[in-house]
Structure 1
Amino acid sequence: MKEQWIEYKPDEISADEYEVVKVLYDCNGTLVELEGNMYNLIIRFDYPDAVRICDEGKRIKTYNEAEGLQEYRKNFNGIPIYKVYHSEFYNWVVDESVGIYTDFVHYAIVTLNDIVDIISSSPPEIHVQEL
């Protein structure tokens, strides 16, 4: 089944042209900071199960095929966080854990220049800061 990308919390996150300015992965979790023209987003995951960071040029197939991402990628102005259903990354984590771990969600943070994929069993805390 094809991956399906659905905007995450579109009523709570302000649309903008975001760029990744920081990804911090340490014993406190994972912090992703996005900077936009009008807003900054601070996204924090307590204990992610897997993190993948890629330059957009290495994810051309994803950009071209992901259902739900096509409107956003026209000008990369909008809601940059997605829940990904039927995810290949999710399936890879399940396979690598030999099926022991399955209770988590694939979140994707998409900007013009980067895609940050995070597998987490708990949702992120998101703070919107107006500039």
Structure 2
Amino acid sequence: MKLRVFTPTEIVLEEDVVHVTVEDPTGSIGIRPGHAPLVTPLVQSILVARPAEGRQRYLALDGGVAIVNRDVVEIVSRQAVESDDPAHLEDSVLAEFERRTEEEKSSFVAFEKMRLSFMRRLLELEKG
């Protein structure tokens, strides 16, 4: 089956594989040729792809979506980083994804506070 991994800026991986393991909010999912059609959100995790020949491929995914249709698995993620060492991906890359997620949450909270403050002041001005 064909595995394609995309980010907003590039095609990270396009390869024929015999097995893919991804992780959604309910746990780990193994996908083999002939898998039932599926669309599922993905959590920050390590994708494992096993080609018919050669070494396994490991990609750290920053969440995303998996789409399985016939013998094609497509993964769309904000970021995807490949490594031969899954321990490295788990220790450093996923930690970096998590740190960025926390920074984005903090930025969103700060923006919302600013927006609410602006709305309050606007209402105060309207009341006179």
| Higher RCO structure, 1 or 2 (CA under 8 Å, sep 6+) | 1
Shorter chain as normaliser: what TM range? 0.3 to 0.5
Task: Report the TM-score, using the length of structure 2 for normalisation.
Answer: 0.35
Say which one has the larger Rg: 2
Task: Report the TM-score, using the length of structure 1 for normalisation.
Answer: 0.34
More helix by share: 2
